[in-house]
Structure 1
Amino acid sequence: MIINIPLLFHTVRKLRFIQIYYQLWYRFKSLFIQNNKKPKPISEWMKIKWIDGLYNPKTYLRNNTFKFINIEHSFENKINWNLSTYKKLWLYNLNYFDFLNQEALSKEEGVKLIHEFIDTYPSVIDGKESYPTALRLINWIKFISRHQIEDPCIFGVIQADAQRLCNNLEYHLLGNHLLENAFALWFSAHLFNNSRYFKIAKHLLKKELEEQILTDGGHFELSPMYHQLMLYRVLDCIHLSKLNPNKFAIDLYPLLIQKASQMLSWLENITYTNGEIPLVNDSVNKISPDSNSLFSYCEKLQISSAHMKLSASGYRMVKASNFELLMDVGQIGASYQPGHAHADTFNFELYINNTPVFVDTGISTYNVGDIRAKERSTEAHNSVVVNNISSSVVWSGFRVAKRAKVTIENELEQSIQASHDGYLNLGVLHKRAWAWNPHKISIIDDLSGTPKNAKAYFHFHPEVNFKATDNGFKINNKHSICFENAISINTKIFEFAPEFNKRINSTCIEVIFNKQLKTSILIE
């Protein structure tokens, strides 16, 4: 295998030392430390309360049949907790046990599924990794607390999982993974009234929430879907502490409330009027709780919005009476953990009268390969590609090497202008300016230098009707988009992916131009 040294250099140089250290340490440790014993039952735990704030989506259907990420599978006899047929994301979902907290799952059925897992616990492989372990801990503790189950075998596995998680915190990844570890230990600490778990959970939550929640309330990985998931966890932690007051937890409570309020503000800003979220970066539907459900959960917990403007996350949202325009003028994020980032600098989405018109193409898979690479590329976004190269170098499934750096040059009430250096190695600086009023959106793309081949992409939602005109297209028999300085205007088929493993054919506009392209969207 040929090693691309520059690619590795630009990827690794942004990592933190702690990530590199723990990558090496955990790989070394795994060669010598393995514990495949079945946990012993335990007899001491706290009887805690839980009332569901939100139900999880229905993923357990019937008779050992599950449906995750739009793939349904039935186990004929016993459940294979190491099933590799559908790659890792499906298997992870099986081991999360989110289905324990779906609506209408009976206590008896849930206990049966838990014991099927316990029976094969020594042979479980991927399900013992820290991320699925963390989510499983949260789901098991919610379920047994809601039903007031007292089963020493179940508590023995929870204790074993919590101890293993403590010893294998995801410092090699950081980001949302480490936060999930902290949330899981917060639940475990309440269940066992364990001072060590409380100490670790509080330390991580204080540090990571302060760092990962930006000054405008957005989660620093810049994915609305992961933001929803992180807000859901924070709300659950608040809910747990309200139901089960504990002297070890009281000093963290104000921070949880503060961050929930800020995160609520960001989600309100980024959510369209019809309740949908922009599918930017790694975001899809039906994975996280939807925005309206989270708004209701906040209301139940009496958490009010901090009412902050979008800023540090790099997103801008214009909400006019007849359209909503999302613009991305942010950096690739997070700098040391950009695994869920795309090469989407200067991307935008447009909804007109609560209906999507120009959309991000979404994602359909996390599997490494051509589809994943395509969905993260600049061509899959409403931006500009120069010389058939993406503005940032995304590679493998979750890697980013050299990345575009954005400079906001001017920002007014009805306009914004920014530039990025993602094509500077080609001698090109890309500058994009948006301006808007109630009936018109203008986008001007300027390329300095001498680009050989510049293409601007505009991706229609599958339900949009369009018809070609002399210099653009009529949209839904009402609105229009037109271009100045275009060398050629073409249409191409692309696959819109609103959910994992769901791809719908749609059409995008490809505009070839030289140094400047003026785009006008007229809204009737």
Structure 2
Amino acid sequence: MPNATFTPARAALLWRTTRHLRLVQIIGRAWFRLYQPRPDFAPPPPLAAPSGPWTPPARRVPSLVSPTTFRFLNEDGSLLETGWDDPARSKLWRYNQHYFDDLNAEEAGVRAGWHRALILDWVAANPPGIGSGWEPYPTSLRIVNWIKWALAGHELPPEAVASLAVQARWLTKRLEWHLLGNHLFANAKALLFVGLWFDGPEAARWRQRALSILALEVPEQILPDGGQFELSPMYHALAIEDLLDLVNLVRARGRPDDVDLSRAAADWCARLSLMFGWLAILSHPDGRIAFFNDSAFGIAAENAELAGYAGRLGLVVPHPPAGALRLPNSGYARLAKNEAVLLADLAPIGPDYLPGHAHADTLSFELSLGTQRVVVNSGTSVYGFGAERLRQRGTAAHSTVTLGNCDSSEVWSGFRVGRRARVIDAGVGGDADTLWAEGAHDGYVHLPGHPVHRRRWELGPTGLRVSDSLAGDEAEARYHLHPDIEALQDEPHAGHLLLPNGRSLRWIAEGGSVHIARSSWHPEFGLSLPTSCLVVPLRDGQATLSLNWA
């Protein structure tokens, strides 16, 4: 809603959105806008000596397809045509240019010459403090990637070493206290990398600043059940990689007599075990993450890459459990029986003061049979402030119940949330035959009649039953299907789902007249795949859908 006219309704929306902010965010936003630091061009500190070997980290898919051609978000662009900050490109695409992820991607060694030239070009073309590349988040990721590239055995050019010091000094003046969350974490990670790469008093100050922030943020951001507190499986995987990198860094560059650093690394290792357990719970049998809140493939390293990285560091990665469980702090539930795995959103949308990556997806779910995803949420393909971003965050893009045109949580703009759905009466259980999960949310109680959505999942050996209760004439349960699934309807309330291996699932609905609607699935940024959606209107406030795969 940029440049929207100020009205009482807009004032109320802003109040519902901003009243959850912390004081540090409000003060930090004012400071970030008003304070204009100057770059510090002092000579860089001396380099520190290594204290141990650097372990090969997780690898991403390459994003540099020629010496000057990038592929980000499924969109190609030539540096010769776009430069480093082309306003015709999306902000996220330009950010990716400045991350330098390709320095540590698959088979990065064969592109080392490209990388060295690209680093030198960046230093020459991006004056300190000017443009997207000097914003704190891309600065943080670039610092880490340059140093990881050097730790892998490559020699940073002198211009890059000098630039690293300038970037670090700049970053200390642009820490993202107004955003907190993964942004501030990335800032601290970068300061620890540069603080252990360099030596001397200035580097020590960077280290101490980093450790002081991490001492606050790690317990805040990593919940006791292992979940990253923004409750996005994608950002959770990014957080795992961050902590693995920090453990790796301390072993390679930390000093044995640095007690604070050693204690921090031990704490990170302990948390990583829980974090990998959480990732396993929120992943499908295909080995990839579920799509709750902002989530897509291709941004974080794949689960197998992260597990391999952990193994090289000597950490044990747990396997996903069978049966019924609910993560006590995150709220998500998992039902796993025989070949079926169901993942259910009985979670809050995220931290109240940081809901930027939240979707209105409360009581949504995803279902797999073996390695085939069947019921899905729509995923995420765009950031920014457009209509498509808003649609993908909305309730109708998820496998849950909509009520008219209202979202269960009041998502707006690109990363804002007003009213937030709260989960109540949540639980899981089961016996030898059937597993169940259930819960309700209050996201619609501000509407006439104060309706509450209640949902129950029952997973048996050969079938699933989903029951919904929500008063309202326009309530509809939506079941978005994976693009591999063909939906057929042979009766007003029944039909089949055809899997790509030829298998057929029988679906039977109880409620209003069912129809099959067009939908889309967004497994990666910049990628939209057509699919279909079963839409089951609630009749007299009730509806059920049964799937049978006997």
Give the TM-score, by structure 1 length.
0.95
Identity of aligned pairs, percent?
33
- Which residue number in structure 2 is paired with residue 499 of structure 1? 524
- Alpha-carbon RMSD across the aligned residues, in angstroms, is 1.8
SS in 2 for 1:251: helix
Matches within 5 A, 1:10-409: 10-30=16-36, 33-35=37-39, 39=41, 41-42=43-44, 44-48=46-50, 50-76=54-80, 80-102=83-105, 103=107, 104-122=109-127, 124-149=130-155, 151-193=157-199, 194-246=203-255, 247-248=257-258, 249-305=261-317, 310-409=327-426
CA contact (8 A) 2:337 2:459 kept: no
Cα offset, 1:409, TM superposition: 4.2
More deviation, 348-357/145-154: 145-154
Please give the alpha-carbon distance, in whole angstroms, between the structure 2 residues aligned to 1:105 and 1:94: 19
CA contact (8 A) 2:287 2:304 kept: yes
What does the per-residue CA deviation read over 1:290-331, in whole Å, with 9 as the maximum and x for residues that have no partner?
111111111111112478963311211122222110100111
CA contact (8 A) 1:348 1:383 kept: yes
Matches within 5 A, 1:508-523: 508-514=533-539, 515-523=541-549
Cα offset, 1:447, TM superposition: 1.7
- Which residue number in structure 2 is paired with residue 464 of structure 1? 485
What does the per-residue CA deviation read over 1:166-196, in whole Å, with 9 as the maximum and x for residues that have no partner?
1211110011111111111111111113221
Please give the alpha-carbon distance, in whole angstroms, between the structure 1 residues aligned to 2:217 and 2:110: 34
More deviation, 359-368/120-129: 120-129
CA contact (8 A) 1:262 1:305 kept: no
Please give the alpha-carbon distance, in whole angstroms, between the structure 1 residues aligned to 2:424 and 2:234: 26
Please give the alpha-carbon distance, in whole angstroms, between the structure 2 residues aligned to 1:105 and 1:22: 43
Cα offset, 1:87, TM superposition: 1.1
Please give the alpha-carbon distance, in whole angstroms, between the structure 2 residues aligned to 1:229 and 1:95: 17
Runs of 4+ in 1 over 4 A off after TM superposition: 305-309
- Which residue number in structure 2 is paired with residue 481 of structure 1? 507
What does the per-residue CA deviation read over 1:87-125, in whole Å, with 9 as the maximum and x for residues that have no partner?
100000000111112223443322211110111231741
SS in 2 for 1:425: coil
Please give the alpha-carbon distance, in whole angstroms, between the structure 1 residues aligned to 2:54 and 2:138: 21
- Which residue number in structure 1 is paired with residue 466 of structure 2? 443
Please give the alpha-carbon distance, in whole angstroms, between the structure 1 residues aligned to 2:371 and 2:94: 36
Please give the alpha-carbon distance, in whole angstroms, between the structure 1 residues aligned to 2:140 and 2:468: 45
Please give the alpha-carbon distance, in whole angstroms, between the structure 2 residues aligned to 1:15 and 1:407: 23
Q: Which amino acid aligns with 1:44?
A: P
What does the per-residue CA deviation read over 1:335-363, in whole Å, with 9 as the maximum and x for residues that have no partner?
21111110000000011122011111111
What does the per-residue CA deviation read over 1:248-291, in whole Å, with 9 as the maximum and x for residues that have no partner?
32221111111111111111222222212112211111111111
More deviation, 100-109/249-258: 100-109
Q: Which amino acid aligns with 1:289?
A: A
CA contact (8 A) 1:47 1:145 kept: no
Please give the alpha-carbon distance, in whole angstroms, between the structure 2 residues aligned to 1:40 and 1:266: 44
Cα offset, 1:63, TM superposition: 3.0
Please give the alpha-carbon distance, in whole angstroms, between the structure 2 residues aligned to 1:336 and 1:256: 24
Q: Which amino acid aligns with 1:64?
A: T
Give the TM-score, by structure 2 length.
0.90
SS in 1 for 2:225: coil
CA contact (8 A) 1:206 1:255 kept: no
Please give the alpha-carbon distance, in whole angstroms, between the structure 2 residues aligned to 1:122 and 1:517: 60
Please give the alpha-carbon distance, in whole angstroms, between the structure 2 residues aligned to 1:352 and 1:407: 29
Return closer, same or farther for 1:472/1:388 CA change in 2, 3 Å cut-off: farther
Return closer, same or farther for 1:306/1:209 CA change in 2, 3 Å cut-off: farther
Query: Structure 1 stretches of 5 or more lacking a match?
Result: none
Cα offset, 1:440, TM superposition: 2.1
Cα offset, 1:376, TM superposition: 0.4
CA contact (8 A) 2:463 2:547 kept: yes
Please give the alpha-carbon distance, in whole angstroms, between the structure 1 residues aligned to 2:98 and 2:221: 26
Please give the alpha-carbon distance, in whole angstroms, between the structure 2 residues aligned to 1:409 and 1:176: 28
What does the per-residue CA deviation read over 1:435-458, in whole Å, with 9 as the maximum and x for residues that have no partner?
22111212111124xx12111100
Cα offset, 1:461, TM superposition: 0.8
SS in 1 for 2:528: strand
Q: Which amino acid aligns with 1:320?
A: K
Aligned residues: 516
CA contact (8 A) 1:41 1:153 kept: no
Please give the alpha-carbon distance, in whole angstroms, between the structure 2 residues aligned to 1:219 and 1:228: 9
Cα offset, 1:42, TM superposition: 3.2
Q: Which amino acid aligns with 1:87?
A: S
Cα offset, 1:148, TM superposition: 4.7
Cα offset, 1:40, TM superposition: 5.5
